[in-house]
Amino acid sequence: MSIRYLLSRTPKSCLLNNNNNNNIIGGRNNLFVHNNNNKNNNNNRYSTSTTSTSTIIDENDPSLDYIYSGKGNPYQLVVGVEVHAQIKSKEKLFSNSLNIGSLDGSIANSRVSYVDAAFPGTLPVLNSKCVEQAVKTGLALNASISKYSVFDRKHYFYQDLPQGYQITQYTNPIVKGGEVLLSLKNNRKKLIKLSHIQLEQDSGKSIHDQSPTSTLVDLNRAGVGLMEIVSDCDFRSSEQVGAYLRQLQHLLKSIETSDANMQQGEMRCDINISVRPSHQTDRLGTRVELKNMISIKSIVSAIDAEATRQIEMVESGTPIQRETRGFDLSTMSTFHMRTKEDETDYRFFPDPDLPPLVLSQAFIERVRATIGELPDAMKTRIITQYGLTVDDATILVADPYNVHYFESVLRHNGKTDRSVKTLLPFIIKEMFEWLNLQNESITNTPVSIERMADFIDLVESGYISSRTGKDIIGLMLNGDTRPAKEIIDGLGVSQISDDSVLEDLCVKILEEHHDKIMEYRSGKTRVFKFFVGEIMKQTKGRSNPQKVTSLLQKKIDEFEL
Amino acid sequence: MYRSIKQIRVDLLGGKLTTRELIDGCVKRIEGFKKSTNAFVSVQSSSELDRLVEESDRRIKGGDARPLEGVPIAVKDNYSTDGLRTTAGSKMLSNYTPSFDATVVARLKHAGAIIIGKTNMDEFSMGSSSTNSIHGSVVNPWSIGKTDQYVAGGSSGGSAAAVAAGMCAAAIGSDTGGSVRQPASYCGVVGYKPSYGTVSRYGLISYASSLDTPGVLANSLDDAAAVADIIMGRDELDSTSLSTYPPARYVTSNTKNFLQKSVASNKIGRPLVFGIPTDFIVKEMDDEIFQLWRNVAREIEESGVGCVVPISLTHNRFALPSYYILATSEASSNLARYDGVRYGFNVKGQDQGEDGENNQSNSLDIKTLRELYRENRSIGFSDEVKRRILLGTMALSRGSRDNYYKKAQQIRRLISDDYSHAFNVQNVDVVLTPTAPSPAFKLDSKMDPIEMYLNDVMTIPANLAGLPSISIPLQVSPTKQLPLSLQLTGQRLNDHTLLQAASLVLNHLPSNYSQNYSTEFENQPFYKS
């Protein structure tokens, strides 16, 4: 299922539900998580309907996010998020082997150097591109860049970790702080503070299900650069986590520091989650780590399920174990993976093979200059520049290429008067619906910018009606590669805009209905609609209604009985 | 037998000697000393030697001889050598043949040197006697003709023995806590450890990355400089390799042969200042070494070629514990990669050893990854290596890191500061000390691990501070008939001053140490045989 064009447009019924702070809905466990908007997340929703009207609420009121237990006690959720995003770079973090990127199905162990496989005597050499990408990400997240950072070794033994340690940044990470302003439903905003971003190596992949007796190891991924983006424990609802991940994913893609595709494992996420009674704000509950979830949707569901489980335990007086849990989509519940006590002592220490990373202000400024328009700024701009609704702008900025496509069509051939109102529905309704259905990205749309512009010009000139246009764009999306005009002419669906044809038709119909002209002249102006209807009938709906109206008006006035 | 690379070059180019004769002579000596010294663990195949000899001869005839054309050089067995087994003295790597060259090896080959073979060493460089090796102990060539057997020192004992007994023209070692200088002093050859960061570690099997320094063992200062000139310099494959060597202020146009020129030039311009650290006078010190140290200092002062000042390196007494915590910490991490999965020793025998001894898969029932790692590492590493891995693992563990690893780092800084004070405030050029507290000791005599660690007490500080340091043989002990050496340690990246000072001590003091030592050396049975 595509999440590329995922929108959270909340229907009115849900808004009401949310405003009354009483989100106790009798559920399976006589307990229900407050946040039921997820059900309404239809992945393929592209309507250009008006912006939802917002009620004035205190967006910082924490009680809005309380979860109520079966007994009606309010609880607060406390969540921290660690995102691992694979860095978009040609080569790995410390070796010159090619990065796998999202290349699926490349031959196992075909992109492994002596360094990646930790052969005796090999040494890591930092890839400056990865540094640049981390700095760029930090700047885009409004964080401070460390001019001095250090690489540390984190030790554990595993078959897909060839060195026996991971090179990471434990004490002095390259990026510190940062923030993400979440746009939530109901026009709520929430500021999430970031702790830091650290550069580190990815591990290889262990494949357990291809041989009954062995584990297979693929080191293609070993040594790929990761940015670990660590948030503070600022999240108070699963909705916030979902919004955060979507916005972060969106940002990383638009500044091109990560492809951030979760299905491909380019973006992975660990969740630290605890609950506490709403009055107990001075201390945290015991936290549980959730791992191995493969989509934002399952992360949101996992948080809801885990919150439910923890609240039940607190209510029943059972102490919560510090542990790592996974999420089972089939049962929609979390399950035990390992307890914290089993964890190894990672024995962090600065990697003696790598000198501290020292960055100059000039370098940081050079990277800053490469950051284009960020999604939030882009959104504000297109709203003012094109008079778009917030919702339409939100849909467009979901992928920076959407905006590029939209603006390029508008300006194609140097024209400045193409109408946003004509164009927009064809993009965000017809085309996005089709793309969703095909699970395709806009970069692969079969309707190029040129063809879309030509098509829009035909609609605008009245050559075809908007309604016919929908059919034509449908054909173009589904593989008709001819120019729009050729398709229209082939089908014979162009509007009759030829004045002489319409003029003759008008005169002919007027001739046949002298009685109606009399009625019209005596003041029964609605008879005019009868004439229009007749003309449309005779031209099988292909005549241009504006033209028909103006011609008819003229002819009826001139007509001599 | 040649004791000078310069002479080899003159004779090769002058047609008095062919590469064939030179290489065959070395191979013959390697064979001849195999039993008595056990210096080599692998010798280059004769077909590969034939190929290299031919190429060198062709180049010499064609007038395009490279700087070390045809010069036979031995390499310690912890350098990766393409197609030549590289074991680091360990069972863990007993079946490992790399497919790439260490940068040092690649540069030597590029300069025309012929890598004649790999030398024996303490397993993963952990030792001071070259007795802790899967290939057996190295025996000091000076034992030949004596009733007792002496150690060659370590961990580059094989390289030191190979140079001393003329099995090669020079050898590459590695120095983490004295592993080039101490065996050089025991075997009576020059052992030079350049400044940290001036020679690439790429392809050198890591023991303790922040201390490991490739070094040269040679018959003379000139030879050491000639080899060092080839292997030094920035390497992009090693992030700790410096681009600032040689320092720009000493380089006018041509950086070639920088050290050789420095040694040759007698124009120092002013008397060098020799610092004598009184803190180095330890009770374990051999009396003859102490006398030698005192005599050399007095001669420097009296002859007027330099002056001698006492200096204080007060934190030196903490050098040994600091070193053993840092080195073992790094080792515990660097050796984590040896799990037998991708290469090396594996009890499950997927990787059969060359000697086919890994047939234990039937008797061992390995079910889990943890069991596989445990067995591979328990059997693949010797007790000494396991001891150091455990020590380092402890020092880095959550509860101990602040008390051990962090403290040791602080001490390292203080030691480095002591040297900086001597160099920058007292204007000392080089620090003069013995290389080791004693000459070579008897094989099997000093095997208590802690007592063994004490052997490195004089050499370790230079590694902790990253300083260039050299051991030079000056005398043969009249009572023991074993070589006695002193050590000079210079300011970081002032390797040329260090070599000039060494030249001054060897060649320009009234006792004429170099000349006299050569005469005595050439009277030794291992030289004449």
Give me the residue spans of the domains in chain A: 76-358, 373-491, 499-558
- pLDDT, residue A18, reads 36
Phi, psi of B276 (to 5 degrees): -115, 110
Domains in chain B: how many in total? 2
How many whole angstroms separate alpha carbon A210 and alpha carbon A201? 25
- Contact flag B373-A157 (C-beta cutoff 8 Å): yes
Residue that is last in its domain, among B451, B472, B493? B472
- Contact flag B80-A121 (C-beta cutoff 8 Å): yes
CB B470 within 8 A of CB B220: no
Furthest CA-CA distance within chain A: 105
Answer yes or no: do B332 and B467 share one domain.
no
Task: Select the more confidently predicted residue: B418 or B352.
Answer: B418
What would the DSSP string read from start to end of B70-96?
A: T-EEEEETTB-BTTB---TT-GGGTT-
- pLDDT, residue A324, reads 94
Closest CB to A114 among B88, B100, B239? B100
Closest CB to B329 among A121, A122, A349? A349
Secondary structure element (H or E) that encloses residue A399, with its range? none
Tokens found for residue A333: 């519940």
Task: Select the more confidently predicted residue: B17 or A462.
Answer: B17
Burial class (CB in 10 A: 0-12, 13-18, 19+), B120: buried
Tokens found for residue A299: 């992360």
Tell me the CA distances in angstroms from B498 to A181, B232, B272, B294, one per residue in order: 60, 15, 10, 19
Q: Are strands A152-155 and A67-68 parallel, antiparallel or unpaired?
A: unpaired
- pLDDT, residue B250, reads 67
Domain span at residue B387 reads 318-407
Task: For residue B155, say if its preceding peptide bond is cis, omega within 30 degrees of 0.
Answer: yes
Q: Give the pLDDT mean for B510-524.
A: 96
Query: End-to-end alpha-carbon separation of chain A, Å?
Result: 66
Collapsing DSSP to helix, strand or coil, A273 comes out as strand
Q: Which residues of B touch A354 (CB under 8 A)?
A: 239-240
Answer yes or no: do B231 and B346 share one domain.
no
Q: Give the pLDDT mean for B443-453.
A: 72
Q: Give the pLDDT mean for B212-241.
A: 97
- pLDDT, residue A54, reads 44
- Contact flag A123-B79 (C-beta cutoff 8 Å): no
Half-sphere exposure of A107 (CA within 13 A, CB side): 3
- pLDDT, residue B146, reads 95
CB A8 within 8 A of CB A41: yes
CATH, residue B131: 3.90.1300.10
Residue bearing tokens 């020092």: B395
Q: What is the nearest CA distance from B101 to chain A, expressed in angstroms? A: 10
Task: Select the more confidently predicted residue: A174 or B449.
Answer: A174
Burial class (CB in 10 A: 0-12, 13-18, 19+), A292: middle
- What ranges in A31-172 are assigned the alpha helix state H? 128-140
Active site residue B256: no
Other Cβ atoms closer than 10 A to A443: 10
Residue that is last in its domain, among B423, B454, B472? B472
CATH code: domain A499-558 is 1.10.10.410
Interface test with A, best of B206, B346, B371, B397 (most A CBs within 10 A): B206
A165 touches chain B (CB under 8 A): yes
Residue B430 lies in a domain: no
Tokens found for residue A358: 């020292």
Active site residue B407: no
From first to last of its 561 residues, what are the pLDDT tens digits of chain A? Answer: 332 332 333 333 333 333 333 333 333 333 333 443 333 333 333 333 334 444 445 567 888 899 999 899 999 999 999 999 999 999 999 999 988 754 555 788 989 999 999 999 999 999 999 999 999 999 999 999 999 999 999 999 999 999 999 999 999 999 999 999 998 988 889 999 999 999 999 999 999 888 888 889 999 999 999 999 999 999 999 999 999 999 999 999 989 999 999 988 999 999 999 999 999 888 899 999 999 898 999 999 999 999 999 999 999 999 999 999 999 999 999 999 988 766 789 999 999 999 999 999 999 999 999 998 998 899 999 999 999 998 899 889 887 789 999 999 999 999 888 999 999 999 999 999 999 898 888 888 999 999 999 999 998 887 888 888 999 999 999 999 999 989 988 887 887 766 777 888 888 888 888 888 888 888 888 888 888 888 888 877 777 778 888 888 888 888 877
| CA dihedral for A158, A160, A166, A168, sign (positive or negative) | negative
Answer yes or no: do B332 and B461 share one domain.
no
A347 touches chain B (CB under 8 A): yes
Q: Give the pLDDT mean for B368-381.
A: 94
Active site residue B155: yes
Give the confidence band of B253 by pLDDT, cuts at 50, 70, 90.
Answer: low
Interface test with A, best of B242, B342, B366, B410 (most A CBs within 10 A): B342
- Candidates B90, B179, B329, B332; catalytic one: B179
Q: Which residues of A touch B80 (CB under 8 A)?
A: 119-121
Answer yes or no: do B442 and B347 share one domain.
no
- pLDDT, residue B471, reads 98
Kindly tell me if the per-residue pLDDT of B466 is higher than 60: yes
A352 touches chain B (CB under 8 A): yes
Q: Provide the mean pLDDT of chain B.
A: 93
- pLDDT, residue A59, reads 61
How many whole angstroms separate alpha carbon B205 and alpha carbon B123? 11
How many whole angstroms separate alpha carbon A79 and alpha carbon A64? 16
Half-sphere exposure of A241 (CA within 13 A, CB side): 33
CA neighbor of A175 nearest in space, from A227, A129, A223, A214: A227
- pLDDT, residue B255, reads 65
Tokens found for residue A330: 């089939």
Residue B64 lies in a domain: yes
How many whole angstroms separate alpha carbon A489 and alpha carbon A496? 12
How many whole angstroms separate alpha carbon A244 and alpha carbon A235? 9
pLDDT tens digit string along B127-139?
999 999 999 999 9
Tokens found for residue A408: 């390029």
Global pTM value: 0.85
CB B226 within 8 A of CB B5: yes
Answer yes or no: do B94 and B19 share one domain.
yes
Task: Select the more confidently predicted residue: A439 or B82.
Answer: B82
Tokens found for residue A477: 């999306």
Closest CB to B202 among A117, A121, A157? A121
CB A391 within 8 A of CB A51: yes
What would the DSSP string read from start to end of A107-127?
A: PTTSS--TTTTT-TT------
Residue B290 lies in a domain: no
Tokens found for residue A37: 């908007």
CB B361 within 8 A of CB B349: yes
The interface pTM score, or ipTM, of the predicted complex is 0.95
Q: Which residues of B touch A203 (CB under 8 A)?
A: none
CB B222 within 8 A of CB B4: yes
- pLDDT, residue B196, reads 98
Collapsing DSSP to helix, strand or coil, B1 comes out as coil
Chain B, nearest residue to A120 by Cα: B205
Residue type, B173: G
- pLDDT, residue B364, reads 63
Collapsing DSSP to helix, strand or coil, B21 comes out as helix
- Contact flag B333-A347 (C-beta cutoff 8 Å): yes
CB B442 within 8 A of CB B149: yes
Task: For residue A355, say if its preceding peptide bond is cis, omega within 30 degrees of 0.
Answer: no
Task: Select the more confidently predicted residue: B512 or A294.
Answer: B512
